Amino acid sequence: MPQIAISTRIMSNTQFPAPSVWLLARYTPRMSTDFTPLALDHLGLFVPNGDAARQALADLGFTITPASAQTMTDPDTGQTLPAGTANFCVMFQQGYLEVLFATADDTEAGRTVAAEAAQRAGLHLLSFATSDARAFDTAKRHAGLPMRPISAFARAVEHDDSPITAAFTLARPAKGHFPEGRVQTMTHHTPEALWQPRWMHHANGAHSLDALLIAAPDPQTTAASLAAYTGSTAELRPAATDLNSNSPIWCVPLARGWIEVLPQGIARALMAPIPLPPMPHFCGLRIGAATSHRHPSPAALGLGVILFSARS
């Protein structure tokens, strides 16, 4: 089992990695050979109605990519097969949001997205970035972490008026290893397909995906588990002012972005007036923007809260 590093020193809001560190590489961060720490790549929302979710994001002032059907490669035959899901994205200069919805019920991915969106629409997926997902997968297996088979996904994306294939390799822990939600680590093989300038300007001033918020009954344990997986250190830091708490919270700083793990009281107040679902779960996200404000997630996007944080 990997050692879990926990620091109990209190960090100030300015002691997280500076933007220059978050930008080790914008799309495919270069990591040391032990892959520490990982970077926050994107967050995924599972929704029952893609059209309604798209309109909700547009109403919030986001620019949205065209929808595209996803495919996957059969590991045995190499054949390209429909994944049974489709997505569209909100692209930032750093990171992005992915909205997933089912298009068929005859694939594992399609059934999974449909079932989880029906049970609780909203944030379900936390995706980290690394320069070599296959090597990361091998390293985790050697460390004793149960992993699912490596996966290769692709989808067609519009690029300069002609389609281009966005290709990814995913390393994923065994189902249930992280009870908070789905976790994966990926390598982008064609980052230029996603990070196109025409999609990165937003009327609301958003420019970066900064953090994931998690509600957990035992924040220290959750933070320690994610720190061990990412090669980071779980640390206490003062709660941001928009959390309205004088108590420090457990955080996991990453090569780009960070994770905040909230206790029940803070999470319940943040989600109000929406009742807090059973913990643990992903409950919100931080987006770097021109101004700071809080916005409850629209019903079409599912449960959660969007915190816009002023950061140049």
Mean pLDDT, rounded, of the chain: 87
Residue 226: what are its φ and ψ, rounded to 5°? -70, -35
Distance CA 90, CA 200 (A): 8
Could you check whether 6-17+204-310 and 28-199 share the same CATH topology? Answer: no
Q: Which residues of the chain have pLDDT under 50?
A: 1-34
Measured between alpha carbons, how far is 265 from 216 in angstroms, rounded to an integer? 10
pLDDT for residue 20: 28
Q: What's the pLDDT score for residue 220? A: 98
Burial 265-287 (b: 16+ CB within 10 A, else e): ebbbebbeeeebbebbbbbbbbb
Q: Please report the pLDDT score of residue 16 as a whole number.
A: 33
Where do the domains of the chain lie?
Answer: 6-17+204-310, 28-199
Run of H or E including 40: strand 39-46
Task: Detail the DSSP E strand segments found in 47-181.
Answer: 68-73, 80-91, 96-102, 122-129, 151-159, 162-171
Predicted local distance difference test score (pLDDT) of residue 312: 60
28-199 placed in CATH 3.90.640.10: no
User: Could you say which architecture CATH assigns to the domain 6-17+204-310?
Assistant: Sandwich (2.60)
